[in-house]
């Protein structure tokens, strides 16, 4: 199976878009990620998957903490900025959650401490114990087939 086909097939799974942030003595670091999963209710655990070549990997290993921000539909410039696709013309604003930086204006921000990390192929999975959550109203940014989009609920469906 070739890599392009695998990526194309995985792109058929629509997701939201998050920015993972952390803070070390070198400062704040952010990275766009859609490999996010809610894992457990009791205890409250979530997982992110970070490329072993990403600068974020070493930062999370050092800080042992990270925040996740679920981006709103008007934050595509934030996603592109933290994916290294296009520098944002607007200044990126952070807000604090549990002493961690998160993206201001995100629909939800989640502060986590790392409980487990596991190298899986060319990525590392971090399991985070949820320390604090903040939520605001709004519409999510989506990602499907390699393109950003909006969420459209179906009428007459539960
Ligand atoms: P860099 O490439 O150095 O940083 C990313 C960008 O953020 C740079 O432009 C940098 O200047 C900027 N930046 C970082 N910190 C700050 C700060 N404090 N203030 C201002 N700007 C800052 N990769 C994964 O590993 N896992 C995923 O789940 C994943 N999902 C993705 C989903 C989408 C929709 C997209 C578009 C990309 C995804 N990627 C994912 C790829 C990943 O976002 C990029 O490869 C990213 O560039 C890797 O970041 P890095 O940590 O190596 O740091």
Mutation test residue for ligand 1: of 83, 87, 89, the one with most atoms within 8 Å of CB: 83
pTM of the model: 0.97
**88 CA → ligand 1 middle, Å:** 13
Rounded-to-integer distance, Cα 65 and Cα 46, Å: 12
Write out residues in the chain with pLDDT < 50, as ranges: none
Rounded-to-integer distance, Cα 86 and Cα 109, Å: 23
pLDDT tens readout for residues 21-66: 999 999 999 999 999 999 999 999 999 999 999 999 999 999 999 9
Rounded-to-integer distance, Cα 87 and Cα 83, Å: 9
């Amino acid at each position: 199976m070739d890599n392009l086909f695998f990526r194309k097939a995985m792109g058929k799974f629509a997701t939201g878009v998050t920015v993972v942030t952390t803070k070390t003595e070198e400062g704040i670091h952010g990275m766009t990620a859609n490999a996010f999963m809610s894992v457990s209710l009791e205890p409250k655990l979530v997982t992110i998957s970070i490329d072993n070549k990403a600068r974020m990997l070493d930062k999370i290993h050092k800080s042992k903490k990270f925040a996740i921000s679920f981006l709103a539909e008007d934050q595509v410039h934030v996603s592109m900025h933290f994916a290294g696709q296009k520098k944002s013309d607007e200044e990126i604003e952070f807000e604090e959650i549990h002493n961690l930086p998160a993206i201001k204006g995100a629909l939800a921000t989640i502060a986590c401490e790392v409980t487990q990390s596991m190298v899986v192929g060319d990525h590392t999975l971090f399991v985070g114990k949820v320390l604090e959550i903040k939520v605001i109203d709004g519409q999510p940014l989506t990602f499907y087939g390699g393109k950003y989009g909006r969420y459209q609920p179906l009428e007459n469906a539960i």
